[in-house]
Structure 1
Amino acid sequence: MVVTNRASRTRLERTPDGRRLVVSRDVSAPAEAVWDILISVERWPDWGPSVSAVRGIDGVIEAGSRGDVRVGGVWIPFTIDSCADRRWTWRVAGIPATGHRVETAGVGRSVVAFEIPPLAGPYVVVCAVALRRIERLATTG
């Protein structure tokens, strides 16, 4: 199943964490530039519609990083489960949450994707907004 909304695509896919809804977007920026945006906690509020702040981590995430993310005025603890090969996953309040990945799609191009647990299907809409914001950040500096 593939659903396309202008530049975003949504499909059911097998990931290292099992079957997930994957919403992705082609971006006219190198994968490394997009990856830097995804792993820099100070940038999360710039692209994450539900994230207003992050505390407990300075700089970039890595496997095992722990902190808190503010969503709707409430601080929620998170742990980064994995962070390698331009893919990271996390647990929010102890629950496996969205995976994030970037793939090279040619010279100066990449595909950024979010992997969403199927039970969180409506979150696809939030991720599509985040993908547009990431593209804007990556292409405008």
Structure 2
Amino acid sequence: MASLPRIERTPDGRRLIVGRVVDADADTVWTVLTDTEQWPEWGPSVTAVRSRDRSIEPGSRGEVQVAGCPWVPFEVETCADYRWTWRVAQIPATGHAVTPLGDGRSRVAFEIPLLAGGYAVVCRRALDRIASIAERDELSTG
């Protein structure tokens, strides 16, 4: 179950953080988060993605389609140490982070810009979807 949102300082400044524990190791969760083909599967607002990079890295670019809207460009700014951030339509968007907890579990979290705090509801749904995908993947490979 997702935690209550809280404000924390991140490398990008103060952000609203919403996260949850996943019964899958950090590498499995990280793969779900960084695989552009899986974004529409776990992102409630993302209906499609176009990118030449299936697995993102700093500088990865592409376009996302959000809930039937026109295609919007994105660029991944940082992607290292189980954390990645991006800009969507040149606007700083959510950060994504995974923390290893040991015993085959990890914590996945979204870092939401304070002005976009209402997006926490969407992120909570995404966290549940990410957990389902990662736990399924963990079972199939474990």
The two structures share one fold, judged by TM-score above 0.5? yes
Provide the C-alpha distance between the structure 2 equivalents of 1:108 and 1:9, rounded to a whole number of angstroms. Answer: 23
In structure 2, runs of 5+ residues without a counterpart are 138-142
Query: Which residue does 1:32 correspond to in 2?
Result: 27
Provide the C-alpha distance between the structure 1 equivalents of 2:4 and 2:80, rounded to a whole number of angstroms. Answer: 24
User: Over aligned residue pairs, what C-alpha RMSD do you find?
Assistant: 0.9
Provide the C-alpha distance between the structure 2 equivalents of 1:57 and 1:129, rounded to a whole number of angstroms. Answer: 27
Query: Which residue does 1:3 correspond to in 2?
Result: none
AA partner of residue 123 (structure 2): C
Alpha-carbon deviation of 1:56? Answer: 2.3
Query: Which residue does 1:104 correspond to in 2?
Result: 100
Matched residues, number: 136
From 11, 19, 23, give the equivalent of 1:16: 11
Provide the C-alpha distance between the structure 2 equivalents of 1:35 and 1:78, rounded to a whole number of angstroms. Answer: 19
Alpha-carbon deviation of 1:64? Answer: 0.4
After TM superposition, the score normalised by the length of structure 2 is 0.93
From 62, 66, 69, give the equivalent of 1:67: 62
Tell whether the 8 Å contact from 1:9 to 1:25 is kept in structure 2 after alignment. Answer: no
SS at match of 2:54: coil
What is the CA deviation profile of residues 15-59 of structure 1, one whole-angstrom value per residue up to 9, with x for unaligned ones?
A: 000000000001110000000000000000010000011102232
Using a 3 Å threshold, how does the CA distance of structure 1 residues 57 and 19 change in structure 2: closer, same or farther? same
After TM superposition, the score normalised by the length of structure 1 is 0.93
Tell whether the 8 Å contact from 1:41 to 1:57 is kept in structure 2 after alignment. Answer: no
Tell whether the 8 Å contact from 2:2 to 2:18 is kept in structure 1 after alignment. Answer: no
Q: Report the structure, 1 or 2, having the larger helix content.
A: 2
What is the CA deviation profile of residues 64-98 of structure 1, one whole-angstrom value per residue up to 9, with x for unaligned ones?
A: 01100011222000000000001000000000000
Alpha-carbon deviation of 1:7? Answer: 3.5
More displaced, 68-77 or 127-136? Answer: 68-77
Map residues 39-58 of structure 1 onto 2, 5 A cutoff: 39-58=34-53
